[in-house]
Amino acid sequence: MQVQSYINGKWIEGSGKTTQLKHAVNGSIVAEVSSIENSFDQILKYGREVGGTKLRQFTIHQRANMLKELGKYLTERKKEFYKLSAWSGATKGDSWLDIDGGFGTLFTISSKARKELSNKSFHLDGGVEELSKLGTFKGRHLMLPLQGVALHINAFNFPNWGMLEKFSPSFIAGMPTIVKPATQTCYVAYGIVKEIIASGILPEGSLQLISGSAGNIFDYLTSQDVVTFTGSQSTGLKLRQHENVQRNSIRFNMEADSLNSSILGSDANPDSVEFTLFINEIIKEMISKAGQRCTAIRRAIVPSKFVNEVIKELKNRISKIIIGDPSEEGVMMGPLVSHEQVSEVGIRAKEIQKSCELVYTQNENVKFRGVGISAGSFFSPTLLYCKEPMTSEEVHNIEAFGPVTTVMSYKNIDELCLLVKKGNGSLVASCFTNDDSFARKVVMEIGSYHGRLMIVNRYCSNESTGHGSPMPQLVHGGPGRAGGGEELGGTRSILHYMQRVAIQGSPTTLMNISDEYVKGAQTEESIHPFKKYFEELKIGDSLLTERRTITEEDISNFADLSGDHFYAHMEDELSKQSIFERRVAHGYLVLSAAAGLFVWPDPGPVLANYGLESLRFIKPVFPNDSIQVKLTCKNKQVKEGDQNGVVHWDVVVKNQLEEDVALYTLLTLVKRKDF
């Protein structure tokens, strides 16, 4: 296979230095890649001017729907991608994490965006801020797409998931992407990007692929660009310190390998469910991707009283791990990605042993299962023990990026937390305990050193997603050694690629800019807004109703109908003891009466009530008070592919003194004229 790059709207083969890529299982050459020598400034320019311009013409929901369709398209073709993944030494389970996990991220981020973000080309961040006494000068925050390119530099271990978990949010945000996969496994990213381009789902210029070296692309980045990096801490620091990145304050999100911990609670004795769950998790993290995961467990921290039992059980379980060609029946762990990685892991494991002892590793002469795999990149699972973890440095500073885990013990919870924090920031830690008090103390003490904490006990273990599995709904990243960055986290990840800008002005100006009604803005009254189809409604269309007097009879009848006979509504004498000091109307009676004032009774475009949001009862309504309602079209949201849209109405209910008594947002389904 000749791995190509996709730049400036076309596929090209590199003309620079050629690198041969080998099958991790048998050492055969599976692909070649050559670095491109094109002008990298033109690649960036194409992304900004072609991709960015086109992407920003769509709304967030439209971009999210494209992502959903892409997920469907790729899922239908995933068998071919599994074949490519196998070249890297991945087992079927490893490939599932990378391939299906990546496609699942497309669906999740798309869904979260459509549910939680504005259906505009930008996002409204929070509500309106009152900046003046009379309300003629206000402010609010907008999230606008950055007008640059997102450059994603990915690691070798998850060539699909790592690519799509970064691409998804940047695409929905409205930023074009340049993907730079790690050379060792770039053939996987190449195969998937090839299908993405062939699908025709994405606007031209929204995705480019650089295979091989990224050359001097950093020299041409601007303040509107974003760089994300996943990989080693040393490489990440070097890139983040690039002169151009520093000079232009270019956003740089770094997710580095870290010394993640798994903790066995002091309550989890060898006969407990949690003890078994802990052992299972350690083994799973050692063999998954052959330990080549940035979230893998590097430090297993256990109570001193259980350390012998933990080591004994781990040795027993490691001895049963079958290593070899993942296509062979019964193989549990495949090879590392390359011979270079085997050498690197071996060197790092030796360095850790300066303050730790080798407890167990399968014999170096062990026969790995499979035929013709003598040239494969195999490395045996290795268990170390650190006897003095409070004074040892290597175990808290050096990572062997493979199936290598070190056991260490703690005397009490304070020592436990100190040991965890010696890792100087991690992506994840897990804690296996059935003592929620213990778990809370651990979380409160070590939480600020981590991006994610997983607490597992017998009640959640069957559905636990695992120590090493970042979920698209939750943030992925961590402070300190872990890079100080943050990815995923649902819609949080999308906002990383947008600029928050505060705008100030009159209510009407803010309404016209944000395309959402702002209290105090000029409104327009013509025909009853409930008579208008979705397309005909304009932001600011309004209705001021007639008045209605709420009587004691209304209150009594509503109580009988609803069954709500709360004393403050029913008894003159008893109601004097309430905070209202006299009989008061039900809040929901006020809402029902308000609806009776503004609802258009005849058949029309309004199909149904869709719900209420942000309801507040501001002042009580007493018998013989009269109410009046102002209904204003606040926002509109198209339901893609449906015959209706959702209209948000600003509702203000006032009494005869022109005081607000109830405020809320009403949602209705309104028919679209074209259906």
Tens digits of residue pLDDT in 560-612: 999 999 888 988 777 788 888 888 999 999 999 999 999 999 998 999 998 99
Q: Quick one: average pLDDT of 437-441?
A: 95
pLDDT tier at 16, thresholds 50, 70, 90:
confident
Cα 245 from chain centre: 25
Look-up of token digits 């083969």: 13
* Res. 17: pLDDT tops 90: no
Strands 150-153, 542-544: pairing kind: unpaired
* Contact (Cβ atoms closer than 8 angstroms) between residue 636 and residue 657: no
Q: Catalytic annotation on 460?
A: no
* Res. 547: pLDDT tops 90: yes
Residues in the chain: 675
The CA distance from 441 to 267, in Å, is 14
pLDDT tier at 620, thresholds 50, 70, 90:
very high
Per-residue b or e along 326-359, where b marks 16 or more CB atoms closer than 10 Å to that residue's CB: beeeebbbbbbbbbebbebbbebbebbbebbeeb
Look-up of token digits 């690198």: 19
pLDDT at 647: 94
DSSP string, 574-621: HHTTSTTSS----HHHHHHHHHHHH---SSSSEEEEEEEEEEEE-S--
pLDDT at 361: 84
* Res. 367: pLDDT tops 80: no
* Contact (Cβ atoms closer than 8 angstroms) between residue 293 and residue 157: yes
**pLDDT tens figures, 461-471:** 998 999 988 89
Give kind and range of the element (H or E) at residue 425: none
**pLDDT tens figures, 124-161:** 999 999 999 999 999 999 999 999 999 999 988 899 99
Mean pLDDT, rounded, of the chain: 92
* Res. 675: pLDDT tops 70: no
pLDDT at 365: 59
CA distances from 248 to 44, 149, 218, 352, 662 (A): 16, 14, 11, 39, 49
CA distances from 168 to 111, 112, 119, 174, 465 (A): 11, 11, 17, 10, 21
The CA distance from 209 to 593, in Å, is 60
pLDDT at 364: 60
Cα 173 from chain centre: 13
Q: What values do phi and psi take at 53, rounded to 5?
A: -60, -45
Please state the pTM of the whole predicted model: 0.87
* Res. 527: pLDDT tops 80: yes
Q: What values do phi and psi take at 584, rounded to 5?
A: -135, 150
* Res. 385: pLDDT tops 90: yes
Q: For each of the domains in the chain, give its residue range(s) and CATH number, in order of start.
A: 2-121+144-256 (3.40.605.10), 260-464 (3.40.309.10), 523-671 (3.10.129.10)
The CA distance from 481 to 501, in Å, is 31
* Contact (Cβ atoms closer than 8 angstroms) between residue 244 and residue 64: no
pLDDT at 525: 84
Q: What is the DSSP letter of 541?
A: B
Question: Active-site residue among 186, 294, 431, 633?
Answer: 294
Q: Quick one: average pLDDT of 173-186?
A: 95
pLDDT at 167: 96
pLDDT tier at 368, thresholds 50, 70, 90:
confident
pLDDT tier at 246, thresholds 50, 70, 90:
very high
**pLDDT tens figures, 641-654:** 678 889 999 999 99
The CA distance from 160 to 191, in Å, is 10
Cα 519 from chain centre: 33
Question: Residue 6: beta bridge partners?
Answer: 11, 209
* Res. 522: pLDDT tops 80: yes
Q: What is the DSSP letter of 5?
A: E
Question: Active-site residue among 165, 186, 255, 356?
Answer: 255
The sign of the dihedral angle between the CA atoms of 158, 161, 165, 166 is positive
Packing angle between helix 78-87 and helix 60-75, nearest 10 degrees? 70
* Contact (Cβ atoms closer than 8 angstroms) between residue 253 and residue 231: no
Q: Catalytic annotation on 294?
A: yes
The residue with greater pLDDT, 130 or 372, is: 130
* Contact (Cβ atoms closer than 8 angstroms) between residue 171 and residue 203: no
> What contacts 530, CB < 8 A, 6 or more positions away?
598, 599, 600, 604, 605, 606, 668
pLDDT at 219: 93
3-class secondary-structure state, position 57? coil
Instruction: Please write down the HEC assignment for all residues of 446-500.
Output: HHHHEEEEEEECCCCHHHCCCCCCCCCCCEEEECHHHCCEEEECCHHHHHCCEEE
**pLDDT tens figures, 37-73:** 878 999 999 999 999 999 999 999 999 999 999 999 9
pLDDT at 214: 87
DSSP string, 96-164: IIIIIHHHHHHHHHHHHHHHHS-SSSSEEEEEEEE-SSSSSSEEEEEEEE-SS-EEEE--SS-TTHHHH
Q: What values do phi and psi take at 501, rounded to 5?
A: -125, 135
Phi-psi region of 212 (alpha: psi -120 to 50; beta: other; left: phi over 0): left
The residue with greater pLDDT, 368 or 662, is: 662
The CA distance from 72 to 67, in Å, is 9
What percentage of residues in the chain have a pLDDT greater than 90?
78
Strands, DSSP E only, in 181-264?
207-209, 226-231, 251-256, 260-264
pLDDT tier at 363, thresholds 50, 70, 90:
low
Q: Quick one: average pLDDT of 397-424?
A: 95
pLDDT at 232: 84
The CA distance from 54 to 202, in Å, is 10
